[in-house]
Structure 1
Amino acid sequence: MTTQPDHPNQSDRPQGQAQPDPFAGAVPTCYRHPGRETYVRCQRCDRSICPDCMRAASVGHQCVECVREGSRTIRQAEAPFGGRPVTTPVVTWTLMAINVLAYLGEVANASLVGRYEMSAYGVAAGEWWRLLTGAFLHAPPPSYWHILFNMWALYVIGPQLERMLGSLRFGAVYLLAALGGSVAVYLTGSASVGASGAIYGLFGAMFVVARRLGFDVRGVLWLIGINVVLTFVIPGISWQGHLGGLVTGALVTALFAYAPGKNRKAFQLGTALAVLAVYVLIVMFLMPLSG
């Protein structure tokens, strides 16, 4: 007696012949969006991808995951001392805009100077905001040379330094230098207005950056020397704010420029916060000298 095999198609097939693929005629769909028909495949993993998942590559297209994985192996460009490379010096233009707007506010309302100038005894009385607001005010009209000189210096120096340091580090140097100048004014029991402390901080930063990168620093030294002399020759200039800003700008920039390669960002952040903390403690626990 003979019996029929349970699977006649399998028993009759010659040995070694491949089984037919039941999905051979299926329409390919995106691996991330199964409901979307597509005939495009990722050049790296060969998975089907829809237009929303395609990323242009040097040849063909790649899927989102392959692009993300590939970007991890590419070293991201950095500014010389860390941070993202700067194409447009946004921080420089923003600082200039704030200074100009503050000056226009003075033109409209002269009482702003009295309320927001850097005053040692105002700060001692609890008006701590004067430590920064005074750095964005200038000698009120009809005096124009004060703001014009400071904005010209920021326009000339700022973009180059911001590209070297990176926007965040440049902003930190500027603000800490402004604060350092205000703290020097506070300790000597005087009052002042102007961005000069921050500008002198940028002078100090220029010297440190040029020295760190191996540039000729003689031009920077001449610039600093001339401005320091003018500080003591021209009457009415706050030498405290200038020198306090100069020292602070050079110090903070040195901490950024000479940070160790390992954990550089953490070191830079930590040292900047340490400088800020020192100035806060000085203002909290020391009283200004009698003016």
Structure 2
Amino acid sequence: MDPISIRTDQLPLVQEIGYLTDPLGEIIHPDRTFLTIDVFLFVVEGAIEVVEEDVAVTVTAGEYLFLKAGCHHFGTKPFQQGTRWYYLHWFSQETASLEDYPIEASSFFTTKASYNKKLSFERQGIVTQPQWLIQTFKQILKQTEATSLKQSIAVFDMLYHFYLQQREPIKPRNQQIVAQVLRLIEDKPKQLSSQMIAKALHLNYSYISTVFKETTGKTIRQVRLEKQVAQAIDYFHQTDLNVSEVSEKLNFPNPYYFSRVFKQVTGMNPRDYLSGRYHKRNKDNS
């Protein structure tokens, strides 16, 4: 089954959330097609069988399952006796055209487009921190007087942390490579070359750059330029240097290229940024 996703620029608007038990093993998953509702199931104890289209899935204690809107879901046999589970329904979001949100990548300056991403989840798997998920569901369900909006905020927070937890065991070697590259960029943002990176990590640069992009969502060049623009902003705040002087200080070939890079990273040209920044009060005018 394809992964399921939520947007990072919108809340997952909750339709229903709850906790159910089947002490006698009498419940069968309902035969239904939710056209606009995605579903999350977390089995605490027992086992649930669900069929999505023609694919039968059994979810056992400590496992989760996402069900996608627009698919036909039904059951063919009762749940296991004593089954207990939490469920979450939210209105499906359009995510097909979005890129995955780069969790590991941070930026000193965030554009609106940076939020236009998605968090993707494997459709079925083992919950890495089941007690945390149980307590989080309980806390949300206890908020009986919470508005739908507040509940949706809490659910987004839960799914975001669930996403982080599910990613923790994945590819630690890749994260180590990213950390090494970021240290090199921090130490040598101006003169760092692909050859220097490959030599320092004792790996092929093509492999390094592929791992970096897959892990962070950004290229090494993007992060290097962000670092230089961050330095430029520091100069703008801490000194009276103009655009040309900062461009020269950061070893850009010319102010025009510097301005183009600055706008690429921040969404505005450096002169517009300068006009809107905080200024130190001139003592002569006090």
TM-score norm. by structure 1 comes to 0.24
Pick the structure with greater CA Rg: 1
User: More relative contact order in 1 or in 2 (CA 8 Å, sep 6+)?
Assistant: 2
